Amino acid sequence: MKVGDRWFRAVWWEQNGVGYIDQRLLPHRFELSVASSTAEVAHAIKDMAIRGAPTIGVMAAYGLAMASLNGENFEATYGILNSTRPTAVNLKYGLDAVAPHYSDPDAALEAARAHDEAEVAAAEKIGEYGSALINSGATVSTHCNAGWLAAQDWGTALSPVYKAVEAGKKVAVIVDETRPRLQGSRLTAWELAQYGIEHRVAADGATASLLRRGEIDIVITGADRIAANGDAANKIGTYPLALAAQAAGVPFYVAAPTSTIDPNVALGDDIPIEERDDDEVLYVEGLTDAGELSRVRVAPQESRAVNPAFDVTPAALISGLITEVGIVAASVDGVRSALRK
């Protein structure tokens, strides 16, 4: 996507290193960085300098290719990268795209680049299929960030919005702030502002009321892993949004490439849910009136937190899965049909 006068992907190969946009600093600072070792790639993924299931997979693919170029041990490198984020299956998908070529550094890098291009192509197709669900004048609700930062380009949940606007439709977006990391207010809102798309940031707890009042026409979220039965794991807070959409009679769609489907996981309850540090809940970070980034504690010193990074939305609450091969049912048969195409 275009930022200022330059075009970017979230992650890219750069002079024997992996370049990336540091998402931790957005929207207040736009900075580029380079991971030049396996440890730095792993840290960028684990610390959420880059995030979003498809982008994580691309970062891991380039990281493994870099290790091949550097002559590192395959098993050790694969293990380090594969352990960084347990929920997003795209991480392993990206690694496995490169693994068969590890002994040939040039082939490994070519495989990583091919994986990158495939994820971008999938994201654009998701937008083409999903935009048909959005009528001109519609208000779309989304959760977390599932735009180009999360999927290299175009995005998953936001790709239909971008394609709808590109087609001349008038679209507005309600952006859940997405506690505790605030990827909605920090990343999704920033992306939409770059595009000039009408949007408003809502507290996570406000969206259910907006749905009940008829102010939202469709909900589209991304996913980090989709089970074989159509259950979908996504950023914490997605499940209550799906419940509220069902109660309000508003369609709830999940947008994700087929690389997010894990046919080896039968049910959503079997998806590993990452538990993150208490401090993400107990502290917030933002820009002061003086223009400085500051981190402050919002809970008592004595308090601890519970911080599951994801929840699982049952397939029964999902109107359909928007994939690069079309819109399929969130069901065993629907998932199988998507994987066969």
What positions carry a catalytic annotation? 224
| Residue 302, number of CB atoms within 10 A of its CB | 5
> Collapsing DSSP states into helix, strand and coil, what is residue 307?
coil
Residues 312, 87: Cα–Cα separation, whole Å: 11
Contact 92, 264 (CB under 8 A): no
Give the end-to-end CA distance of the chain in Å, rounded to a whole number: 28
* DSSP secondary structure code for residue 203 in this structure: -
Distance from chain centroid for Cα 325: 19
Please name the residues in contact with 163: beta carbons below 8 A apart, sequence gap of 6 or more.
124, 127, 128, 130, 131, 154
Q: How far is CA 37 from CA 10, 62, 108, 307, 317, in A?
A: 18, 11, 16, 29, 42
307 within 8 A of 180, measured Cβ to Cβ? yes
Q: Smallest Cα–Cα separation from 62: which of 95, 100, 101, 24? A: 95
Q: Which residues pair with 202 in a beta bridge?
A: 176
Distance of CA 79 to the CA centre of its chain: 22
**Nearest alpha-carbon partner for 35 in 8, 52, 14, 53:** 14
CB-based contact 238:254 (threshold 8 Å):
no
Q: What gap in Å lies between CA 32 and CA 22, rounded to an integer?
A: 6
Strand partners, 296: 284
Q: How many C-beta atoms surround the C-beta of residue 229 within 10 A?
A: 19
